[in-house]
Amino acid sequence: MFAHNALRRRICQDWQPAIQSSLLYNPAAMRLAIDTGGTFTDCVFVRDGQLEILKVSSTPQNPALAIRDALAEILKEANGSLDVTCGTTVGTNALLERRGGRVALVTTAGFEDVIEIGRQARPRLYDLFVTRPEPLVPREWRIGAEERVAADGKTLVPLAPGETARIVRRMVRLRPGAVAVCFLFSYANPEHERAMARALRRAGFVVSVSHEILPEFREFERTATTVINAYLAPVMSRYLAEIESHAARAAGKRAKAQVRIMQSNGGIVSARVASREPVRTILSGPAGGILGAQYVAQLAGFEQIISFDMGGTSTDVALLEGERRTTNESIVADLPVAVPMLDIHTVGAGGGSLARFDRAGALRVGPESAGADPGPICYGRGEQPTVTDAHVVLGRIPPGGLLGGAFQLDEARARRLMEKARGKMRSVEAFAQGILDVANATMEKAIRVISVERGYDPRDYTLVAFGGAGALHGCELATALRMSRVLVPKFPGALSALGILRADVVKDVSLTVRLAVERAADATRELRKQFAHIESRGLREMRGEGFSPRLVRIERMLDMRYVGQAYELTVAAEGDFVGAFHRAHERRYGYADPGRAVEAVNVRARLTGATPKPELPKSRRAGANPRAALVEPRPVMIARRRARTAIYDRARLRAGNRFAGPAVVVEYSATTFVPPGWRGRVDAYENMILETK
């Protein structure tokens, strides 16, 4: 095991809080952000006015142990108050691997099978043997309650006290880990759900209620999202309680520790709220990467970007044009998640992705990953070839290893075991190149999904490559997509953690209203009343996070559609929002019909409490010659030939330096490969801008 004290790197000087926005923040507390990945756990923290980073090995069997190790290393010299924000994949992995709690569902009698019937959409239209995933709640654990509310909120069949008592007795016999409650039309009248939830909570059950999680129409999506929340609650509650315990011990008896969690919408909340609503944390870690990519791109002067976050297990991509895109129509593990999430597309391709030959002899890479244990072959324990091993064999990761040399790689072992696994490939180098080609094809397809397939030309965008492995593939992906520019941030391997550290506290609230709208002015009064209703709930939540109403910024939005349509477009609830909807419809679908009736389906509000943010300082400009950063050149396999390649130490590159490919740039948190035909320059914030010649 490597020595943690060799892993820390200072990356910013003279940090000052931008604001003191709420009682939530203790100016004397050390602020940390921790992003738990499949291979490494990344930490960015502020100490003595300076921003530093630390990477430790992840502990997949119990991710909280890596956080414990990181806190112990960071605070080994002194204890003190802590402000810890975490990005986590615990919820995502529990859903993907079906390791959540035992869940029971209480719903309106006759609707017990909604989560199994779903939308009747075939995931693969021509596959006669396709199988649907098993529902998270087995049939015998779905309980129908004799009650009924109409679509307008009127009570048709009251929920009798005896019926409530019957269901509680049934739950006592079943002993589920959590209970989901989702009654028909409860978004219009939640009284029956409230009564059922009160009775179950008095009996000691953990309860997720649909009008608290997602008070919107579409019965399947609302039920599924509420069930997922209940399914994740036991797992996330234990995990977050363990983190809070580790943070409290690290802070010491005389200091306080505050723990917050990154949400999928790009905002943070307290661990208490995240334990209650874990469905909002499913894309927690990738969301931090979006914030970090947007920040460094704005510093570099680029508004239109495609973020490319390649870690040890997966790759996350997103398209941004100034503002972050959110969606309420996500699918995770073949299940709908209808809470707001940043619009991120994920594929199973990372540095630890396993390479194999299928039964037809075709080379496959991923989605299975070696993770942190056993890891790639070159880490010393794994025995199956990975993307990282391919880079090592081709010389793109120099023999000095990772983490500034503190994490040594065994190139000889990687070459020996890959030689055994190469099958009919003509050489181990050809095998390694094939692995990279297949991985690149998978990631190129992912970028096309969020760009070309949605009508955006990737040539108009800058590719922001980060994560531990992103900069190794960025230029080759850009070439395949005919993109001319790649931005590699100052510390790519920890950018997600920086994004988490810069995140604001955010609460999204919504409600289905189904209001016919002819002109914006005609609906203003009714919409104002509905917004006031949901915002009062949001402001209560924000007070719990430490923000008074005067410190909360509120954005209002409407989900709108033509009457009779099945899906909606979201527009800002300001000015002529009806005209804005027509314009948005024409932009998305190529036509609009101003004479057709329009309805506002959902009202949405986003409440934001601003937090202090670390800023990267400008550096003093040096000359163009990067001679001071040069390390001894070495041969690297490029286009199936060995080429003498310049090696640069990024810690010694300065603003204004310029260099040309082929080159490899090594640093503490990542490695960058610059192919022939590309040139690089270092900007004022020490980001690397790579462009085609």
- The DSSP string of 464-514 is EEESTTHHHHHHHHHHHTT--EEEE-SSGGGHHHHHHHTPPEEEEEEEEEE
The larger pLDDT score, comparing residue 645 to residue 28, is at 645
Residue 2 confidence class, pLDDT cut points 50, 70, 90: very low
Which residues, in sequence order, are CB contacts of 129 under 8 Å at separation 6+? none
- 4-94+235-281 in CATH: which number? 3.30.420.40
**pLDDT mean over 60-68:** 90
| Per-residue pLDDT reduced to its tens digit, 627-651 | 999 988 889 989 888 899 999 999 9
Inter-residue contact 298 to 616 (CB < 8 Å): no
Q: Which tokens belong to 6?
A: 């060799």
Q: What's residue 17's pLDDT?
A: 39
The overall longest dimension of the chain from CA atoms, in Å, is 82
pLDDT for residue 22: 52
What is 287-332+449-498's CATH number?
Answer: 3.30.420
Structure token pair of residue 642: 């060995």
Q: How confident is the model at residue 222 (pLDDT cuts 50, 70, 90)?
A: very high
For position 127, what pLDDT does the model report?
83
Section 442-471 average pLDDT: 93
Q: How far apart are CA 672 and CA 666, in angstroms?
A: 7
pLDDT (tens digit per residue) in 281-334: 998 889 999 999 999 999 999 999 999 999 888 899 999 987 888 888 888 878
Residue 556's pLDDT is what? Answer: 96
Residues contacting 609, CB < 8 A, separation 6+: 21, 22, 24, 504, 505, 506, 542, 545, 546, 547, 551, 552, 553
What pLDDT is attached to residue 385?
Answer: 94
Nearest by Cα to 637 from 391, 274, 278: 391
Helix (H, G, I), strand (E, B) or coil at 420: helix
Residue 19 pLDDT: 40
Looking at residue 120, its pLDDT comes to: 76
Q: What are phi and psi of 311, to 5 degrees?
A: -105, -150
Chain-centroid distance of CA 336 in Å reads 16
Could you tell me the residue ranges of all domains in the chain? Answer: 4-94+235-281, 287-332+449-498, 505-609, 627-692
Confidence of residue 189 (pLDDT cuts 50, 70, 90): very high
- Average pLDDT value for residue range 235-254: 90
> For residue 385, is the peptide bond before it cis, meaning its omega torsion is within 30 degrees of 0?
no
CA distance 390 to 429: 8
The confidence score (pLDDT) of residue 28 equals 64
| Common-topology check for domains 4-94+235-281 and 505-609 | no
Q: Name the fold adopted by 505-609.
A: Dna Ligase; domain 1 (3.30.1490)
**Interatomic CA distance for residues 495 and 55, integer angstroms:** 12
Place of tokens 């409490």: 609
User: What is the model's pLDDT at position 323?
Assistant: 82
Least confident of 202-206, 562-566, 615-619, 681-685: 615-619
What is the pLDDT averaged over residues 613-639?
89
Tell me how crowded residue 98 is: count the other CB atoms within 10 A of its CB: 11
Evaluate if residue 582 carries a pLDDT over 80: yes
Q: Give every CB contact of residue 529 below 8 A, 6+ residues apart in sequence.
A: none
Q: Is 530 helix (H, G, I), strand (E, B) or coil?
A: helix
Instruction: Say if residue 21's pLDDT is above 80.
Output: no
Label residue 4 by pLDDT band (50, 70, 90). Answer: very low
Beta bridge partners of 209: 181
Q: Are 80 and 249 in contact (CB under 8 A)?
A: no
Between the alpha carbon of residue 257 and those of residues 17, 20, 85, the distances in Å are 19, 18, 11
- Tokens at residue 302, please? 């680029």
Cβ contact 121:294 at 8 Å = no
Count of CB atoms within 10 A of residue 161's CB? 10
pLDDT in tens, 515-544: 999 887 878 889 999 999 999 999 999 999
Q: What ranges make up the beta strands (E) of 211-294?
A: 257-262, 268-270
Q: List the alpha helices (DSSP H) in 123-218.
A: 161-174, 191-202, 210-213
